[in-house]
Structure 1
Amino acid sequence: MASSIVLDSSISAGTGDAADEFELLKTSFVDNGYCEQLKSLNSPKCIILGSTGVGKTAIINQLITITDNSAQIHPDDLSISYINRSSIIKQMEDCGVNLAPVFRFMWQHVFIVELIRLKFNLTTKNSILRLLDRLKARYLTGSSEQQAIQFMEKWGSNFWESVNLRVREITESLEAAVQNSGRIDIPQVGSISGAVTDRQNTELKEHYESIVQTFISEELVKQQKSIIDICINDFFANSNKAYYLLIDDLDKDWAPSDLKNLLLKSLLMALKTIRRIPNTKIIIALREDIKHQLFHETPMPGFQEDKFESLELRLSWSKNQLLNLANLRINASYKEKYTNAEVKANQIFSDFQIEKKSPLDYIISRTRMRPRELILFLNTCIHKARIDNQNNITRNTLIAAEKQYSSKRVQAVHDEWNVVYPCIKAYIELLKRKPMSFSVGRFQQNNITDFMNIMAQHSKAHHDPIGRAIIQGESDLAVSNRKIIRELIKIFYRTGIIGLKTEPELPEMWAYQDEPMVEDVSIDSKTKIYVHPAFFAILGTDKRLSQKISLDGNPKN
């Protein structure tokens, strides 16, 4: 082991949030080959898929750095609040009108305008007028391209303005279509005249659906199709440059949940249309749990998961890549203040092993192979050593830091998955004081009764899939319990809390490096469960050889 170096208050592995580390990433970005795949126009990969803290934002930031013709679209800049405040949009939603085609048209509009802006450097009204003159001179009156010219004349005057205007343009156009159609006279909510009847609601829905169908199927769509064709056959054809649009932060609170899901589905559908434009690429970062919501929690006709699989690039990390990341981070921190000599991450530790592992190997074994977890664990160790006035990290310091780090992993799981599983913290309680591995068969039906009673009374039970299943229940309690246990195991696996061994001759499976989900058919009473070491400290996991125990923690003979 290299000689230890002295820690001080300025040493850090970073923040763990790539959004705050743009400068640091210039010197400590670990290239796993993903950027080249995403940058390549020959590769279909354009959806960066991964869990929280796996490096999606870091890759987006790196792509901004290494591409010459790129622009980032921030969801917060899209004036989605304007859609949310629209009383007409709200009434359409309340009536059950499918607005997905409108939002798909909107996203295509955003993408087309931003690509044309990027291609022709449209930053002023004069630059837009010059492009319009070029189009008129190139395409004769009466040709099919006249639709594209009409598109430019309708929207072009605002091309130079910021992206948030695009959403307002489409929303205002739809609102105008409704206002010009002659709305059905119905009682307003809260008015003296009373509530809307079912018949009136049906009439209003049919009225709005007719407007939406007209809006997206006539002149406006013809114009958009024509400008897409010109982008394909003229603007971006035979270009010696590539143009990129990058979208991150789709997991943030940029829209109410239901509206955001519909907008994201529409975005993915628009992405497939715009992919036809050569020498361009739209790259988005999407969290695993959000993808699951889109395809499984709120299904939509024609929106099929397998249609997008070829576009997905699922991020994963190896142990050596994480070691490299740790070395780069610690080296950058020391180089900034002290020395140009290379410093390795293992030099901040005193000379010891823990569970027959080096300190860094031990720390990595406590992550779910996510860079953010490595960074946070390292920082917790460094912080603990400073508090204890130590020059480096000792074995006792690491063990104490692990307790703090592990307790935050449960909160991190909740933060990542609570929209899908609002009661996930209650699930995790089932794993407390259990051995590090045990068989599914040890989840005895009678030992889950207390859990089910607690869940039935949980304030969020009706919004939670396990809670709803327990409340609805089956007349055959044994069958119901087995289903609940199986569902819990699938959730624990999917969220990275446990790994599974489905056959004796097969290795352990973990969602972050193998299949992200496991099917019912793969789970039987002999399936082996492995609690992830990241949770050992907070769960009080028994790290001795696995015992034959039931869910209540009592040893079985």
Structure 2
Amino acid sequence: MSNPIVFSSGARIGKIAAEADEEFLFECFVDSPALTELKLKGSPKMLLLGSTGAGKTAVIRKIERDSDSASLIQLDEMALGYLGNSDVINFLVSLDVNLDLFFQALWKHVILIEFIRLKFNVDDEGKSKFVFGQIFDAFSRDKRKARGLEYLRKWEDKFWISMDENIREITENLESTVNAEMGGEVEKFKLRAGYIRSLSAEKKSQLQRVARKFASPDLLSDLSKVIDTLADHSTRVEPSFVLIDQLDENWIDPSIKYPLIRALIESLKSLRRVSDLKTVVALRSDLLEKVVLETRSSGFQSEKYEDYIVRVKWDSKQLKKLVNKRINFLFRRQYSQDNVTFEDVFNEKVTNTGSPFSAMLERTLYRPRDVINFVNMCLEASEGRGSVIRKSFAIAERNYSANRLTAMAEEWQNVIMNADSVIGMLKGRRETFEISEFCTSDLLESLFSHYPDYGNSKPDELWEVVSEAISRTVDPFEIACVLFSRLHLMGAVGVKYDPSLPYQFFFETQKPLPTLQLDHSTKVRVHPMLHSALGIVK
């Protein structure tokens, strides 16, 4: 190169969070099959699934940027705090009343109103009434559309008001209806902590019978007619995108959050009937696991939605392309007018085997965030140099491994309580070992020492079997199988079922560990990403 580069302090190929990476995100964007599938009008794919750092937010933002008709719903602007603080909602939740249908109605209303705004460019009250007039004229003679039109008529002057006002009004309608019949009970619940727990089984059952009729609102039936009406009003133009992201953040109390997410997923199927509308929901893999865990008593099964799920996956070529684009963008802008590639920066052998990029990739879960983070740490460890040498790579790997260990525990903490202690069971182990090495009485004792305080949450499968060991004899192999199914789900280990097969990691297969295929001689490999942080012996 005519202008040799020198790494300065703060040299980065971008930030690891897409929402904070405006500068690099679009300049260095790499198309993925997931993006293509989601943008396809006739495709049923609406649920964008992936682990943290896989690039879900980047895909959502790319759709928003490229489409002439797209809206990203901001959860903090939806007045969901009002929903979470509602005494009536909390009263019904405490009574164990299933609010799934009410929450579905809420999501459908919000998404359909947003779709009408997008499709007809509604931005004021006058335009709102004009658009409704068009729809009414088109279907007023069709008696089958009467209920849907009546619903739209009721909201015709409100299409343009903010989303939080819509949600507040629907919630207030429910509150008024419940208070009219059960106001005294709601007041007792509000004034007396633990009121529901103090009720006799008979009294609680009586209140549940009364309350259930409020959880299945006429609103849902009306919205079904609205969907029919809008489906018949569709055109062949490009779809309007209603995008939902950041569901993993703290936008509402967990007691309501998981049923709300379940209801959102349930709503997706019926919304597909409106061919002009494409709803895309980004969801972390661990969050979906938590939703299934917390709502499984209601019969929710994520497998039913496989036809609607598209997973964010990356291969080595795509990740290399991403890194090259970002390195070139950084150094062409700051240092050189020449094209700069990964090999220009990593031009020395950094490990005993393989190329520098394969060595780096081996220590990742094949996610953009992992690779970006690792490269940034290598640049930081190489400040003042013009390339990354073996010593700098080793320093970066130690920092990176510690960072990924913490991030993995934090990512899965809501699904697997004390996830850090569960991963810690691998500390000081060999890189590969057989499951039989864990099948000792010490395993149960070690887990008992980290037994979590669940509070109101439901216990994970691992801690359920540990709890059962108090009242029945549990084979250590049974506990080990559940332990490794959890470690496999987190990405900490790969499992080799058969000598002729490679190690299976969750980030590659996207499938839970089939514990029935495990036996005492099944081999396990700790992911290289964690070797340094866990002191793994090679």
Aligned residue for 1:232?
231
Q: Secondary structure at 1:144's aligned position in 2? A: helix
Per the TM alignment, residue 278 of structure 1 is displaced from its structure 2 partner at its CA by: 1.2
* 1:5 pairs with 2:8: no
Structure 2 equivalent of residue 201 of structure 1: 204
Amino acid at match of 1:420: V
Q: Deviations over 1:445-480 (max 9, x none)?
A: 144254134235x55699554344324315665x43
Deviations along 1:41-96, whole A, 9 cap, x unmatched? Answer: 22211111111101111111111122221111122221111011111111111111
**Alpha-carbon deviation of 1:198?**
3.8
Structure 2, unpaired ranges of 5+: none
What CA distance in whole angstroms lies between the structure 2 residues aligned with 1:475 and 1:180? 47
Task: Report the alpha carbon displacement of residue 276 of structure 1 after superposing the two structures with TM.
Answer: 0.8
Going from structure 1 to structure 2, the CA distance change for 1:480 and 1:3 (only over 3 Å counts) comes to: farther
- CA distance in 1 between partners of 2:224 and 2:472 (Å): 56
Shift of 1:515: 4.0
Q: Deviations over 1:238-297 (max 9, x none)?
A: 332321111111111111112111001110111111011112211111111111122244
Structure 1: 5+ residue stretches without partners: 544-557
Aligned counterparts of 2:7 and 2:469: Cα–Cα separation in 1: 56
1:469 match: 465
Q: Which amino acid aligns with 1:132?
A: F
Preserved CA contact (<8 Å) 2:379 2:388: yes
The answer to whether the 8 A contact 1:474-1:480 is kept is: no
Cα distance, 1:196 vs structure 2: 4.1
Q: Deviations over 1:491-516 (max 9, x none)?
A: 11111001011011112211001143
Report the Cα offset of residue 302 of structure 1.
4.9
Q: Which residue of 2 aligns with 1:395?
A: 390
1:341-397 per-residue CA deviation (whole Å, 9 max, x = no partner) reads 2111222235224122222221111111111011111111111222xx434321111
Does the CA-based 8 Å contact 1:151-1:223 persist in structure 2? yes
CA contact (8 A) 2:10 2:380 kept: no
Task: Give the aligned residue type for 1:179.
Answer: N
Tell me by how many angstroms 1:162 deviates.
Answer: 2.3
Offset at residue 337 of structure 1 (A): 2.2
For the 8 Å contact 1:498–1:529, the answer to whether it is kept is: yes
Residue correspondence of structure 1 range 491-530 to structure 2 within 5 A: 491-530=486-525
How far, CA to CA, are the matches of 2:2 and 2:314 in structure 1? 25
Structure-2 residue corresponding to 1:555: none
Report deviation, 1:221.
3.9
RMSD after superposition: 2.5
Classify 1:423/1:223 alpha carbon distance in 2 versus 1 (closer, same or farther; 3 Å).
closer
Q: Where does residue 405 of structure 1 map in the other structure?
A: 400
**Where does 1:114-513 land on structure 2 (aligned, <5 Å)?**
114-140=114-140, 143-181=143-181, 183=183, 188-189=188-189, 196-213=199-216, 216-217=217-218, 220-234=219-233, 236=234, 238-386=235-383, 389-456=384-451, 463=459, 465-473=461-469, 477=473, 479-513=474-508
Opposite residue 229 of structure 1, the aligned amino acid is: D
Q: 1:10 to 1:340 in 2, by over 3 A?
A: farther
SS at structure 2 position matched to 1:229: helix
Q: Distance in 1 between matches of 2:443 and 2:201?
A: 44
- Other-structure match for 2:532: 537
- Tell me the TM-score normalised to structure 2 length: 0.93
User: How many angstroms apart in 2 are the aligned matches of 1:147 and 1:306?
Assistant: 33
Deviation of 1:333 (Å): 0.9
Residue aligning to 2:85? 85
Counterpart residue identity of residue 97, structure 1: V
Shift in alpha-carbon separation, 1:304–1:335, aligned structure 2, 3 A = same
Distance (whole Å) between structure 2 residues aligned to residue 528 and residue 106 of structure 1: 48
The 2-side partners of 1:494 and 1:449 are apart by 20
Higher deviation after alignment, 18-27 or 100-109? 18-27
Q: Distance in 2 between matches of 1:32 and 1:191?
A: 54
Range 390-399 or range 112-121, more displaced: 390-399
> 1: distance between equivalents of 2:192 and 2:48?
48
How far, CA to CA, are the matches of 1:289 and 1:283 in structure 2?
18
Match of 1:231, as an amino acid? L
Residues 207 and 337 (structure 1), Cα distance of their counterparts in 2 relative to 1, 3 Å cut: same
Q: Partner letter of residue 202 of structure 1?
A: S
The one-letter code matched in structure 1 to 2:526 is V
Change (3 A) 1:486 1:162: same
TM-score computed with the length of structure 1 as normaliser: 0.90
For the Cα contact (< 8 Å) 1:431–1:539, is it kept in 2?
yes
Counterpart code for 1:13: I
Please show how residues 43-122 of structure 1 align to structure 2 within 5 Å. Answer: 43-122=43-122
- Identity percentage over the alignment? 27
Cα deviations by residue, 1:322-347 (Å, 9 ceiling, x for unpaired): 11111111111112223342111222
Question: Alignment partner of 2:279: what SS?
Answer: strand
CA-to-aligned-CA distance 1:125-166 (integer Å, 9 cap, x gap): 000111233344334478333323321232222211222223
Distance (Å, rounded) in 1 between the aligned partners of 2:439 and 2:244: 46
